[in-house]
Amino acid sequence: MLRWIIFLVVYLIFDLYAFQSFKTVSKNNWLHTFYWVVTALIIGNFVFHYYGFNRRDGFSHAHAYAFGFFVALLVPKAVLLIAMISEDVFRIPLAIYRYFIEGDSTKGNYFASRRQFISKMALGIAAIPLASIIYGIYKGKYNYKVLKYTLHFEDLPEAFDGYKVTQISDIHSGSFDNMDKVKYAVNLINEQESDVILFTGDMVNNKADELVPYKNVFNKLKAKDGLFSILGNHDYGDYVTWESDEAKHQNLEDLKELQKEIGFDVLLNESRFLEKNGERIALVGVENWGVGGFKQAGDLKKASKGIDENDFKILMSHDPSHWEKEVINDNYNYHLTLSGHTHGMQFGIEIPGWFKWSPAKWRYKYWAGIYKEMGQYINVNRGFGYLAFPGRVGIWPEITVIELKKGVELA
């Protein structure tokens, strides 16, 4: 209770300060009332849903939207707050200097007009994240992008020259709230006509029954050489409370079975061979392995049992920290690793081919897209779904299509 009181008092103090920019630009009392009514509704809804909240009790759509609207309110006001504080850092010392040193008390109009200018500029800037977040909540989370890459390997078997792999990751089916958009994305995946579809973990947020309404959507996925999947950290049900260990275990078994009913071959520290014209490539799937407190059930050695060191290998591993900590230094050469997990934090700025930034880079060295180390590649998929924040801003849901080519990439 005390922390919520502190939170509300601190927020109110900061909000009163940020409100000064709004008040400076407009003297309309009705507009001021609207400002505070909207603030009270959003903050009240946030407190209502999160007071006493325990993540282990589950995370509903209502929780997600309460959090999303709180972020939509907080970020623009943070811009206003920073602008007003910065203005006062300049304005107050200068006013004191002019009053006591220059004996000039006639500059009030200058300061008033300057503050009005700063306020207008701050409001204009604050409107950008506000509009972006609202768009991200209502449109951005289903703004699917097909990202295509061509990767060259000298030791790729000749029969697999031009082989196309579609990767999807982090479906988080319990977060969806628009069946038609998910159907559209499944059709988009099928339109790529890839040879194989690989899913790299986090089918659900917590419970297998989240997938049930979408089973007859995802079972429309088709690929000539089949569908393969692995488990992500959320698939184990570790983030909610279960009435017994048996119930938790059964949930995982149910999830595996649902994926099989969809058509996925679930790889649990296992491998398969994809064969074509008498040649083969190895597909290796490990269970979740991640640093920072995440489950480390993945066993690379066990998964690669029966695979020759000289086989061309595609590894499916949910968390890219596994690639960094274990895979690239392994004696086996894993030509291509496919991961997800980071979501690109569902927020960032990307100009394809030019610029890529997200707060995710502060947590993960490899957080989105293609990377190459020691002659090995990893693709970190930005995710198909979303979690917690019910939207995406600048980091859009991704369907990755990778074409394998034999030979050396031309400069």
pLDDT in tens, 40-82: 999 999 999 888 777 777 788 999 999 999 999 999 999 888 8
CA 395 to chain centre: 7
Give the N- to C-terminal CA distance of the chain in Å, as an integer: 62
Buried b / exposed e over 331-362, threshold 16 CB at 10 Å, is ebbbbbbbbbbbbbbbbbebeeeeebebebbe
How much is the pLDDT for 328? 95
How much is the pLDDT for 62? 92
Residues in the chain with pLDDT values less than 50:
none
Contact present, 20 and 83 (Cβ < 8 Å): no
| Domain extents in the chain | 2-138, 145-406
Which DSSP helix (H) or strand (E) runs through 168? strand 163-168
How much is the pLDDT for 82? 86
- Contact partners, residue 316, CB within 8 Å, separation at least 6: 198, 200, 201, 228, 229, 230, 267, 283, 284, 285, 286, 337, 338
Contact present, 338 and 314 (Cβ < 8 Å): yes
Tens-place pLDDT, residues 22-42: 788 888 889 899 999 999 999
pTM of the model: 0.91
The third-level CATH classification (topology) of the domain covering 145-406 is: Purple Acid Phosphatase; chain A, domain 2 (3.60.21)
Closest by Cα among 396, 342, 349 to 147? 396
Residue 258: burial class (beta carbons within 10 Å; 0-12, 13-18, 19+): buried
Token representation of residue 127: 């409107």
Euclidean distance between CA atoms 342 and 383, whole angstroms: 8
